[in-house]
Amino acid sequence: MGNENLVFEKYLVSKGLKLTKPRKIILNTVFATHEHFNVDELYDQIRKKHKDVSRATIYRTIPLLVEAGLIKQSLRCLAKDHYEHTYGHNRHLHLICEKCGKIIEVESKETENILNKLAKKHNFNIKEFNIGAKGICNKCRKK
Amino acid sequence: MGNENLVFEKYLVSKGLKLTKPRKIILNTVFATHEHFNVDELYDQIRKKHKDVSRATIYRTIPLLVEAGLIKQSLRCLAKDHYEHTYGHNRHLHLICEKCGKIIEVESKETENILNKLAKKHNFNIKEFNIGAKGICNKCRKK
DNA sequence: TTGAGAATGAGATTTATTCTCAGAATTAAC
DNA sequence: GTTAATTCTGAGAATAAATCTCATTCTCAA
């Protein structure tokens, strides 16, 4: 219940685009939970209430949400792109279990600081961090 | 010219698999350069010399190379999976330019140490790091 | 109210990757 | 060397996520 709506509308207007009903529905469904999501999950979720929003529109709206700084592309899992919130969420890194797919989110300003330093050395302007590791989680290791 | 061949053969034998001609060709082409690659690039490279290696075999061999610890899945660029060497190469992180696609490779043991600590806290067993950032490179920023 | 441009749904299309299958290669035992 | 059991292979079909097309509908400023 932040003002994603405001942010999104501002972005759209600045590009000469419109905050239409389907776009509102998509935005609100995306921000109805805090979870990562992929297009299929989002589509199913939306379809529970709104039978008139198409996959095409979802695929077309996601890049707008990304551009507006509301979400970002996250992991790729089972051949599908996944997304996560950036607006209203602290940045975090991911520990992904290769066995069960579980995602552990951990905050770490430290790693970002180091990356920032390294980027400076290379005259590189960081827009977005992508930090994580794959491995085996606690539960799966015990099996 | 390390002994990727030996490593690969050892791995294959341990799984009851065979180091066949196509697999040798693929392995050697992969290790003929130090560059990241995707399947198309690898296929073209191989086809210059060997008209009889199919895409299917390349797709089937890559997971074996990954499992053998010789390469790892790296970035995904333009809807294609990319791979990079792990055998014989120090680990590094990637700064990826969103404009021109340039990839800057940087070493950083520091970030890995931090991730290791965090993983310990969560009883997570890291198999592979995935560290990087997207942004704008020096050249593109000047435009 | 209206008109110009933007947005939509439906379904076709694209394309990386995976699968199928009949024949070929491999390897160990004889 | 032959054989037999198994693994591999190439070719092309199949799959499926993501993109595109297009005729129609919506939006909003004037």
Cβ of A16 near strand C (under 7 Å)? The reply is: yes
Q: Tell me, which fold does domain A93-142 have in CATH?
A: Dna Ligase; domain 1 (3.30.1490)
Chain-wide mean pLDDT for chain B? Answer: 92
Look-up of token digits 């979720």:
A45
Select from B95, B84, B81 the least CA-distant residue to B128.
B84
A13 burial type by CB count under 10 A (0-12 exposed, 13-18 middle, 19+ buried)? exposed
Per-residue pLDDT tens for B36-56?
999 999 999 999 999 999 999
Residue-level pLDDT at B2: 67
Residues A136/B127, Cβ–Cβ less than 8 Å: yes
Contact check, Cβ <8 Å, A133/B125: no
Q: Write out which nucleotides of chain C lie closer than 7 A to a protein Cβ.
A: 5-11, 15-20, 25-27
Cβ of A17 near strand C (under 7 Å)? The reply is: yes
Residue A21 Cα to chain centre, angstroms? 21
Per-residue pLDDT tens for B68-111?
999 999 988 889 999 999 998 888 999 988 777 778 999 989 99
Which among B106, B131, B137, B138 is the top mutation candidate for probing chain A, defined by the most A β-carbons within 10 Å of its own β-carbon?
Answer: B131
Per-residue pLDDT tens digits of chain A, which is 143 residues long: 568 999 999 999 999 999 999 999 999 999 999 989 999 999 999 999 999 999 999 999 999 999 999 999 998 888 999 999 999 888 899 998 877 777 889 998 999 999 999 999 999 999 889 899 988 899 888 87
A98 burial type by CB count under 10 A (0-12 exposed, 13-18 middle, 19+ buried)? middle
d(CA B115, CA B124): 10
Q: Write out which nucleotides of chain D lie closer than 7 A to a protein Cβ.
A: 6-12, 16-21, 26-28
Residue B123 pLDDT exceeds 90:
yes
Residue-level pLDDT at B49: 95
User: Which residue has the least CA–C1' distance to nucleotide C26?
Assistant: B18
Cβ of B78 near strand D (under 7 Å)? The reply is: no
Look-up of token digits 């990087």:
B132
Residue-level pLDDT at B18: 95
Give percent of chain B above pLDDT 70.
Answer: 99
d(CA A15, CA B98): 20
Residue-level pLDDT at B26: 98
Residue B5 Cα to chain centre, angstroms? 16
d(CA B63, CA B37): 14
**Consecutive H or E run containing A65:** helix A55-67
Residue-level pLDDT at B23: 97
CATH class of B4-85: mainly alpha
CB atoms under 10 Å from CB of B27, counted, come to 22
* CB-facing half-sphere around the CA of A58: CA atoms within 13 A: 23
Residue B60 pLDDT exceeds 90:
yes
Residue B1 pLDDT exceeds 80:
no
Looking at the partner chain, which of A95, A108, A126 has a beta carbon nearest the beta carbon of B124? A95
CB atoms under 10 Å from CB of B5, counted, come to 14
Q: DSSP secondary-structure letter at B70? A: S
Instruction: Please enumerate, as own/partner, the contacts of A106-111 that have beta carbons within 8 Å and a separation of 24 or more.
Output: A106/B118, A106/B122, A108/B114, A108/B115, A108/B118, A110/B114, A111/B111, A111/B114, A111/B115, A111/B131
Cβ of A139 near strand C (under 7 Å)? The reply is: no
Looking at the partner chain, which of A108, A115, A138 has a beta carbon nearest the beta carbon of B124? A138
Going from N- to C-terminal start, the domains of chain A cover 4-85, 93-142
